[in-house]
Amino acid sequence: MGGYENGDSPAAAAGEGGVILGVDGGTTNTVCVCLPVAMPPPESPGAVPVLSRAVAGCSNRNSVGESAALETLEQVMAQALTLANTDRSAVRAVCLAVSGVNHPSDQQRMLDWIRDLFPGHIKFYVENDAVAALASGTMGKLHGCVLIAGTGSIAYGVTEDGKVARAAGAGPVLGDWGSGYGIAAQALTAVVKAYDGRGPHTNLTREILRKLELSSPDELIGWTYADPSWARIAALVPVVVSSAEDGDEVANKILHDSVQELADSVVAVVRRLKLCGEDGMDQFPLVLVGGVLEGNKQWNISGEVVRCISKVFPGVHPIRPEVEPAVGAALLAWNHHRKGLKLENGS
């Protein structure tokens, strides 16, 4: 990625027209990047001049509560500005793309909050974190579908004329079964069932107990409910993948079922928006984001998901972004700001 290391005299660049903030707020962590307003349209991901980058904890209000989520967002934006040697007065636009923003009322509540933090001339855009993930694969342009499978999961699509649709993303209680949390929760359940005699033997028992330094499946109950945070549970996904790669049938079934869940979510969005065209054959971009979709030795989850989707829509064009979602959010805000200036100038 082009640009500056944190603190490397970005103030001059920031001073030429101000800065843009892009925030990707997830269940595992929250990232904020700062871009200069006065930059040419980036011709490649490596040409994006990032002035600074800051990281904080979870900002999903459904996971940690609203006050903690807002505190994290304020903290990470302030840190990014400090690292860029600038302050709130230099900000021209902000895109907050945060998991847990699922309804216009969520957007309005967050807009009301952020307007109290910054000067009145700033433009704000509040979206679900899926929007930033999509923009990271399309360099700030909103068209196509994104599949996020990290701690949580969601499929989100946008047409060229602005219609949107989503599937999944409803959290663990309502069944994000292709997510990291969903995969790990099924593995923990399988271990308990095997221990009870209600399910088949699985090597997940040995591997999960070893990973957690526990001596018996009985102890899983206490471990799970001592801190049932979504990210803590989802951190067990690599154990499930390695067990599947070693041939464990239970682990393999969990992953196969999860692949189908993720593919079904994308198919539902693409079909609803007709991203594939009337005949289902048109090409469309599918941006793939999240730790669950990263490559493994043998079990290529993202590859399996794309293979399932391509059986229905052969025009699917998978994209693995070269910039992170926070940069996508910043590019989205930058594009909006640039269009606004053009309209003001009559060009």
Give the β-pairing of 164-168 and 123-127: unpaired
> Which of the four pLDDT bands, split at 50, 70 and 90, describes residue 9?
very low
Residue 152, domain member (yes or no) = no
Angle of helix 237-245 versus helix 249-273 axis, rounded to 10: 110
Question: 65 lies in a domain?
Answer: yes
- Whether residue 167 is contained in a domain is answered as no
* Predicted confidence (pLDDT) at residue 12 exceeds the cutoff of 90: no
**What pLDDT was estimated at residue 62?**
78
Q: How many CB atoms within 10 Å of residue 312?
A: 15
Instruction: Give the global pTM.
Output: 0.82
Dump pLDDT digits (tens) for 21-36: 999 998 789 999 999 9
Nearest to 100 by CA among 69, 135, 75: 69
pLDDT in tens, 72-81: 999 999 999 9
E strands within the chain? 19-25, 30-36, 52-56, 91-98, 123-127, 144-149, 153-158, 164-168, 284-289, 316-319
232-246 residue pLDDT tens: 999 999 999 999 999
For the four alpha carbons of 164, 162, 22 and 326, in that order, the dihedral sign comes to positive
Q: With bands split at pLDDT 50, 70 and 90, how would you rate the model's confidence at 310?
A: very high
pLDDT tier at 296, thresholds 50, 70, 90: low
CA pair distance 39, 41, nearest whole angstrom = 6
Asked if the structure places residue 296 within a domain, the reply is: no
Residue 33 DSSP symbol: E
- Dump pLDDT digits (tens) for 216-231: 999 999 999 998 788 8
**Mean pLDDT confidence for 241-256:** 97
Distance, CA of 83 to chain centre:
24
In a domain, 341, yes or no: yes
In a domain, 285, yes or no: no
Task: Give per-residue pLDDT as tens, 86-116.
Answer: 999 999 999 999 988 878 898 999 899 999 9
Return d(Cα 135, Cα 98) in angstroms, integer: 14
State in Å, rounded, how far the first CA of the chain is from the last one.
30
The parent domain of residue 334 ranges over 17-140+323-345
Q: Give pLDDT tens digits for 156-214.
A: 999 999 999 999 988 788 878 899 999 999 999 999 999 999 999 999 999 999 999 99
Query: Which CATH number characterizes residue 133's domain?
Result: 3.30.420.40
Please list the residues that pair with 289 across neighbouring strands.
148
Cα gap 174→193, rounded to integer Å: 21
How far is the C-alpha of 327 from the C-alpha of 333, rounded, in Å? 10
The residues that bridge with 97 in the sheet, in sequence order, are 24, 127
pLDDT at residue 226, rounded to an integer? 93
Q: What is the identity of the amino acid at 89?
A: S
Confidence (pLDDT) at 25: 92
Query: Alpha-carbon distance 270 to 278, whole Å?
Result: 11
pLDDT at 14 > cutoff 70: no
DSSP state of 43: S
Q: pLDDT grade, residue 16 (50/70/90)?
A: low
24 domain residue, yes or no: yes
Sign for the CA dihedral angle at 180, 181, 186, 191 comes to: positive
- In-domain check, residue 21: yes
| Average pLDDT score over the chain | 89
Q: How many domains does the chain have?
A: 1
- Over residues 257-293, the pLDDT tens digits come to 999 999 999 999 999 999 999 888 999 999 999 889 9
